[in-house]
């Protein structure tokens, strides 16, 4: 997948005129306290289809409004269909329904996917260093060309170095090992502390595995934001779940 990303970027670097920078996603995470990015998703590789006591809650627009009501700072919307049950329509519905900035969450491997995100009025895109490798810096430049913020995701020290060297200003640290799918909640605090010690002055986001206020307590004063997906999506009351998680 990394080779494909490199080939496509070199073959199709022209995304048209520069678009005005939005910056809404970054601004939403930069406020005081620990911001919550609430994820709109219907499935995940680790647990399959997500079920809810109220299936209507999993409708993207309704979920987005509930997250907004509960106090989420931003939204993450899956558009990858095979593993996460996402779709472009989910992102379009969320953007139309909610005033919160939305991240297009997908495996970006082609510049056209950045152009799609901008056309669909996403505020940001996910760029995975595990997928893009040294091409991360190029995809960052292309995203900014389109007026998009970028959440650059890392899993270990090597990927963190690539993200910082590539000019990322929002770095997400994933607690999930993508090979085993196991969660280690110590991973994000450890790498976030390393990033700060190395002089990183951008925003830092902890991702994956957070299910309770106690889980995210160690992130306060350390991370700028936390991204939560499955544990919220399967809740009986999405707005209340957000309030309880961030209490």
- What are the catalytic residues? 39, 41, 105, 153, 174, 207-208
Contact 79, 90 (CB under 8 A): yes
Q: Cite the DSSP H helix spans in 107-210.
A: 111-119, 129-132, 136-145, 157-165, 187-197
Contacts of 94 (CB under 8 A, 6+ apart): 40, 60, 61, 63, 64, 75, 77, 102
Contact 165, 157 (CB under 8 A): no
Q: Count the Cβ atoms, other than its own, within 10 Å of residue 111.
A: 23
Helices 187-197 and 157-165: angle between axes, nearest 10 degrees: 40
């Amino acid at each position: 997948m990394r080779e494909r990303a490199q080939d496509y970027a070199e073959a199709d670097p022209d995304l048209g005129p520069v678009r005005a920078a939005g910056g809404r996603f970054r601004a939403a995470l930069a406020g005081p306290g620990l911001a919550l990015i609430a994820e709109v998703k219907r499935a995940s590789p680790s647990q399959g289809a997500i079920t809810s006591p109220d299936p209507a809650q999993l409708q993207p627009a309704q979920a987005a409004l509930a997250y907004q009501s509960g106090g989420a700072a931003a939204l993450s919307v899956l558009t990858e269909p095979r593993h996460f049950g996402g779709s472009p329509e989910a992102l379009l519905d969320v953007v139309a329904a909610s005033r919160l900035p939305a991240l297009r969450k997908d495996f970006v491997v082609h510049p056209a996917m950045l152009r799609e995100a901008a056309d669909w009025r996403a505020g940001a895109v996910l760029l995975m260093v595990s997928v893009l490798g040294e091409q991360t810096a190029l995809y960052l430049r292309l995203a900014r060309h389109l007026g998009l913020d970028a959440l650059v995701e890392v899993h270990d020290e090597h990927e963190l170095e690539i993200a910082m060297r590539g000019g990322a200003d929002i770095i997400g640290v994933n607690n999930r090992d993508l090979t085993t799918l196991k969660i280690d909640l110590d991973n994000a605090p450890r790498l976030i502390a390393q990033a700060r010690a190395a002089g990183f002055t951008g925003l830092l986001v902890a991702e994956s595995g957070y299910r309770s206020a106690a889980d995210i307590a160690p992130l306060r004063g350390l991370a700028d934001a936390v991204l939560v997906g499955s544990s919220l999506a399967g809740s009986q009351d999405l707005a209340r779940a957000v309030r309880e998680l961030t209490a």
